């Protein structure tokens, strides 16, 4: 459920940035990714993985999220360069990044000590 809400947050923020603020899709994606990541870290740490917010998990979460951010921004940039509609870039992001992020967090961020 946290992943779904995080993804919806990303889609809504990216769409608002593009449609209301006139941001280019890669820029909108960076803003949306940052907002969704803050939400995701807090909710996943507390609800999904039942841990406390702390510097160690925040740092590892940030590494995984940053890798996902680079991948998602690159995907939206490629779609824009190819002349595709921004919705295609967002669709790629919401399809690929949740699985990428889950695996990274499961095996790195919240690994058993």
Domain span at 46: 2-109
Per cent of the chain over pLDDT 70 is 98
In this predicted structure, what is the pLDDT of residue 112?
63
pLDDT digits (tens, 9 = 90+) for 79-102: 999 999 989 998 998 889 888 888
Q: How confident is the model at residue 41 (pLDDT cuts 50, 70, 90)?
A: very high
In which element (H, E) is residue 24 found?
Answer: none
Cβ neighbours of 81 (radius 10 Å): 9
Domain total of the chain: 1
Q: Give the whole-angstrom CA distance, residue 113 versus residue 42.
A: 20
Comparing C-alpha atoms, which of 77, 60, 96, 71 is closest to residue 25? 77
In this predicted structure, what is the pLDDT of residue 80?
92
């Amino acid at each position: 459920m946290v992943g779904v809400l995080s993804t919806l947050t990303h889609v809504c923020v990216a769409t608002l940035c593009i449609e209301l603020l006139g941001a280019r899709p890669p820029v909108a994606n960076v803003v949306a990714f940052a907002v969704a990541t803050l939400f995701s870290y807090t909710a996943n740490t507390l609800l999904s993985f039942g841990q406390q917010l702390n510097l160690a998990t925040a740092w590892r979460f940030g590494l995984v999220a940053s890798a996902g951010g680079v991948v998602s921004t690159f995907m939206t940039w490629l779609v824009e360069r190819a002349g595709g509609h921004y919705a295609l870039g967002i669709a790629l992001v919401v399809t690929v990044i949740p699985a990428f992020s889950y695996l990274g967090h499961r095996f790195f961020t919240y690994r058993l000590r």
